[in-house]
A = this chain, B = another copy of it.
Amino acid sequence: MKPSEQFHEIEQFLADRSIRLTLQRQHVVQRMVKREHFTAEEMVKDVQQTHPSIARGTVYRTLALLQENGLLEKHDFRQGAPHYELTHGRQHHDHLMCLQCGEIIEFHDDKLEAVQDRIIEEYGYQLVSHSHKLYGLCGVCQKKGKKTKKANAKPPKLRVMQSVE
């Protein structure tokens, strides 16, 4: 979906709910549709570059507003501040991240979702959302790792990852 299309969908979505899309909010959303992932502070800087008069608080409030209405998702990756991404009109997906180079892959798997639904049900919960993140090394970094192996005298990490079959 093109940025402008996405913008108009969001515009419509908010209008349908009589949520004001003020000029300031428009500017923020305009920046957002042009990006995949971004942090709150990145967005503040980004918006202030072209509109210095827009306050930090306004950007944060807009982020919160969109989140409340399910248009925006917040992702806590391990390092740094949480990232945001627009979800409207996009299929749900989870993330796979390379710990070395930081590459983020989005994936979707029906089976995974199904298993999840079953688990939730077992506990009598009503699912609102979920966050599923896989951390590892991408193909490229695996090869690099072998060559440029760090001389870290530290003992191997005790990470027990349950492996099946």
Contact = CB atoms under 8 A, between A and B. Distances in A.
Of A90, A127, A158, most buried by chain B (CB within 10 Å of CB) is A158
Contact of A69 (B26, B129, B157, B162): B157
A60 interface: no
In the complex, the count of this chain's copies comes to 2
Nearest to A7: B165
A129 B138 contact: no
A18 interface: yes
A123 B96 contact: yes
A27 interface: yes
B124 A139 contact: yes
A70 interface: yes
Contacts of A155: 16-17, 69
Interface of A: 4, 13, 15-18, 20-23, 26-27, 30, 68-71, 74, 76, 78, 87-88, 90-92, 96, 98-99, 105, 107-117, 119-120, 123-139, 142, 154-165
Given A20-B159, A69-B158, 18 more contacts: A4-B165, A18-B158, A23-B162, A26-B164, A70-B159, A71-B158, A76-B78, A87-B158, A87-B160, A92-B162, A98-B125, A108-B162, A109-B119, A113-B163, A125-B136, A129-B135, A130-B133, A130-B161
